[in-house]
């Protein structure tokens, strides 16, 4: 109902562009109070080789559409980029990266020692993105490792959510 109302309002107001909020922001699911907690959730699911749970820890299409997309520069109407292009491309890359992650690290039990970010933190209107997460880990043999197991982390209202599994 809310979606319909928003759509009507948008159309009445003179047309909907890709950057308008056609949908009210979705609540983010599977969020955590810190990057460390989020990372521990990823590691636990990885140890269990639970690809479905790992998938759910990253942004869903609805979350990307309603929370992220309206505030991205690439959603501005003059850029002419359809949402489907951007989401489809990111989702494809993230899904591929997740498959590789499970293949390489699935079943391994890592202990988290810390989370750092190699990239910048980008502020948007209602959220921030901490880019290029790097995890300091200890494996079962006690070896210390530093691994980029996933990509960026989104922060909104003090909650943290995995942006994607894309690691460049």
What is the footprint of another protein within residues 147-166 (CB under 8 A)?
A: 151-152, 163-164, 166
**How many residues can be counted in the chain?**
168
Cα gap 71→19, rounded to integer Å: 7
Over the window 106 to 145, marking each residue x when it contacts another protein by CB under 8 A and - when it does not, the resulting string is ------------xx--x------x-x--------------
Token pair in block for residue 103:
């293949």
Cα–Cα distance, 62 to 69 (Å, whole number): 10
Strands 159-162 and 153-156: antiparallel
Among 5, 11, 74, 111, binds another protein (CB under 8 A): 74
Of 7 and 136, the one with the shorter C-beta distance to another protein is 136
Can you tell me the distance from the alpha carbon of 81 to that of 96, in angstroms, rounded to the nearest whole number? 23
Contact 72, 124 (CB under 8 A): yes
**Least distance to another protein from the beta carbon of 102, Å?**
11
Interface residue list for another protein (CB under 8 A): 64, 68-69, 72-74, 76, 78-82, 84-86, 88-90, 93-94, 96, 99-100, 118-119, 122, 129, 131, 146, 151-152, 163-164, 166, 168
């Amino acid at each position: 109902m809310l979606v319909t109302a928003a759509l009507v309002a948008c159309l009445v107001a003179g047309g909907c562009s890709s950057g308008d909020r056609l949908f009210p922001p979705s609540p983010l699911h599977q969020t955590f109070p810190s990057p460390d907690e989020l990372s521990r959730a990823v590691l636990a699911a990885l140890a269990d080789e639970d690809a479905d749970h790992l998938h759910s820890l990253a942004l869903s299409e609805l979350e990307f559409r309603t929370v992220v997309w309206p505030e991205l520069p690439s959603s501005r109407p003059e850029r002419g980029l359809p949402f489907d292009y951007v989401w489809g491309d990111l989702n494809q890359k993230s899904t591929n990266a997740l498959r590789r992650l499970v293949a390489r690290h699935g079943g391994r039990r890592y202990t988290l020692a810390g989370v750092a970010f190699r990239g910048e933190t980008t502020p948007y209107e209602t959220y921030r993105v901490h880019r290029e997460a790097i995890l300091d880990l200890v494996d079962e043999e006690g070896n210390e490792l530093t691994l980029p197991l996933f990509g960026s982390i989104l922060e909104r209202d003090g909650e943290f959510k995995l942006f994607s599994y894309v690691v460049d």
